[in-house]
Amino acid sequence: MAECCGSKQTEAGSGSCCGGDKKKTVLVYACSGGANVAEIADKAARELMFGGCGTMFCLAGLGAGIPGMIQMAKDADVNLVIDGCPVDCAKKVFERAGVTNFAYVKVTDLGIEKKKGIRCTPEQIEQVVAKCREVLAAQK
Amino acid sequence: MKKLQVLGTGCPKCKKMAESAEAAAKAAGIEYTLEKVTDISEIMKFGVMITPALVVDGVVKVVGKVPDVEAIKSMLA
């Protein structure tokens, strides 16, 4: 569902329309890869969205070069990019798309080890969410 | 002939975008057509999920905000 006017941030997917208050457009992207740290990045992004910090958007859309999605990222007030590991896939997608206005969090920078075949924990997600909130607060 | 498309479901900002786009095209002295795309599924085909948005000759120029007339003029050049 399209989000109207860039002002609706707390209810992703809402079709409600605007004309009212001017909030910053905060878009959140996660690498959403296969390892535990990518699962953390993905779930942290969703937690931020449902917590009203911004709206999670499709990193694959940028990777695919969808013009509207690239322009949307360029026009956002804040883009928060969350990578799981030092391969920096999400960051590289942004760079290749020519979108330079983004804040950045990397899960492994927070001392969380990258592993395959294990599930992440709620505590790890909360740790990343807290870091993201801190980074977003610095953007405002 | 420039093809201008304003993507939006009809909120005040979408209407403002259409007015500003029209004003910019007239100020620039260019021939244009203006289409208002209000259908959500059609809007999403542009990869746009925040409205309003302005599309010029099929290229998405701005999303989620209404630039001033001068800024839109530069998008039409």
Q: How do the domains of chain A map onto residue ranges? A: 26-139
Please tell me the class of the A26-139 domain: alpha beta
Nearest CA in chain B to A72: B63
Instruction: Quote the ipTM score.
Output: 0.71
pLDDT tens for the 140 residues of chain A, in order: 455 444 444 333 333 333 334 578 999 999 999 999 999 999 999 999 999 999 999 999 999 999 999 999 999 999 999 999 999 999 999 999 999 999 999 999 999 999 988 999 999 999 999 999 999 999 86
Using CA atoms, how far apart are residues B30 and B20, in angstroms rounded to an integer?
14
B14 is catalytic: yes
Asked if the model's pLDDT at residue B77 lies above 60, the reply is yes
Instruction: Give the CA distances from residue A6 to residues A45, A77, B11, in Å, rounded to whole numbers and listed in that order.
Output: 18, 10, 12
Query: In this complex, is the C-beta atom of B53 within 8 Å of any C-beta atom belonging to chain A?
Result: yes
Maximum distance among all alpha carbons in chain B?
A: 32
- What are the pLDDT digits (tens) for B29-69? 999 999 999 999 999 999 998 999 999 999 999 999 999 99
B46/A72 CB distance under 8 A: no
B69 is catalytic: no
Report the pLDDT value the prediction gives residue A10, as an integer from 0 to 100: 38
Q: Are A19 and B13 in contact (CB under 8 A)?
A: yes
Show the CA angle centred on residue A56, arms to residues A55 and A60, nearest 5°.
Answer: 145
Chain B residues in contact with A4 (beta carbon < 8 A): 8-9, 11, 13-14, 50-51
Domains of chain B: which residue ranges?
2-76
pTM for the structure as a whole: 0.80
Q: Are A48 and A56 in contact (CB under 8 A)?
A: yes
A110 by DSSP, 3-state: which?
Answer: helix
Choose which CATH entry (3.30.470.20, 3.20.20.105, 3.50.50.60, 3.40.30.10) describes domain B2-76: 3.40.30.10
